[in-house]
Amino acid sequence: MRKKLRKRSLGGRPDVHILSAGGIVYRKRAGRIELFFVKDPFGRWSFPKGKVEAGETLPETAIREIREETGLDGLGLIAPLGKTMFRFWREAGLIEKTVHMFLFKAPPLAKERLSGSGAIFEGAWMPVHVAFQVSGYRNSDRMLGEAMRLISSQEGVPWVSVKSDRVRRGSRSPQTVVERPLMHFPKIRRPRREWKRPQQAMSMRSMIRPRKDTGGGDEGHLMGE
C-alpha cells in the first residue's frame, strides 16, 4: 500500500508541463458590477481558460479562449492577476499545470454566445457579492480578491476586506481574507448553530422534593432518605 501511495505522490519531477491562460471578465451595467462565470466539465463554476498555442502571448491566449468558450468580444485588458500552479495524475504521468489569469472589461451590453468549445455549455453573468460562494475552486479566491481590488480602482467602487465564506474541509475558520463590495451588499453571515447542554437523566432539582408540612421548616430532602 505504501508503494502505491509513493507512486501517486505529487512531489518530484513532473512528466508533463502545461501552460494555460485565461481571464476574469467583468462589466458595469446599470451601475452594477457583474462577473462572467462558466461551468466546466466537472460541473463547477470557474473562468474561461485554455492551453497556450505556439506563437501566442499569454494575454492573446486568454482573449482567444474567452472568445472561443463564451463568444464575448470587445474585451479590454485591465491587468494581470497572477498565476496558479497545481499538479495531478493522468495516464501520461504527473502533470504540472500553470495557469496565468488576466482581468478584462467587457462592454456594458456584452452578450455571451456559448459554442460548447472545451465542453463549456453553460455560462452566466453574476453579481460580485456571490462570486466567492459560486466559485468552485479554492485557488480562485486569491484571483477574485485581486480582481476586485483592481475593479475598485478602475470603477471607483469602495470595498472592504472580509473573510471568505469558503471553509476548509475539517476546519471551523474561513480560509482567506478577500475583498467584497462595501456599498452594494452587506456582509453575509452564516447562521450559527445553538449549542445545547445535553439533558441529564435526572437533575438534582428533580431529585429534591418538598418535605410534608409536619410543623418543621420548609426544607427539602433527597428521595430515598
Q: What is the pLDDT of residues 71-119, one digit of tens each?
A: 999 999 999 999 998 888 888 888 899 999 999 999 999 888 876 655 6
pLDDT digits (tens, 9 = 90+) for 167-205: 344 433 334 444 444 434 333 333 444 444 445 444 444
In the chain, the domains with their CATH numbers are: 2-133 (3.90.79.10)
| Exposure string over 141-172, b if 16+ CB within 10 A, otherwise e | bbbbbbbbbbbbebeebebeeeebbbeeeeee
The values of phi and psi at residue 73, to 5°, are: -135, 175
Which stretch of DSSP H or E encloses residue 97? strand 93-105
> 67: alpha, beta or left, given left = phi > 0 and alpha = psi -120 to 50?
alpha
DSSP lists the bridge partners of residue 89 as 94
Q: What angle do CA 164, 67, 91 make, to 5 degrees?
A: 70
Q: Is the pTM of this model over 0.75?
A: no
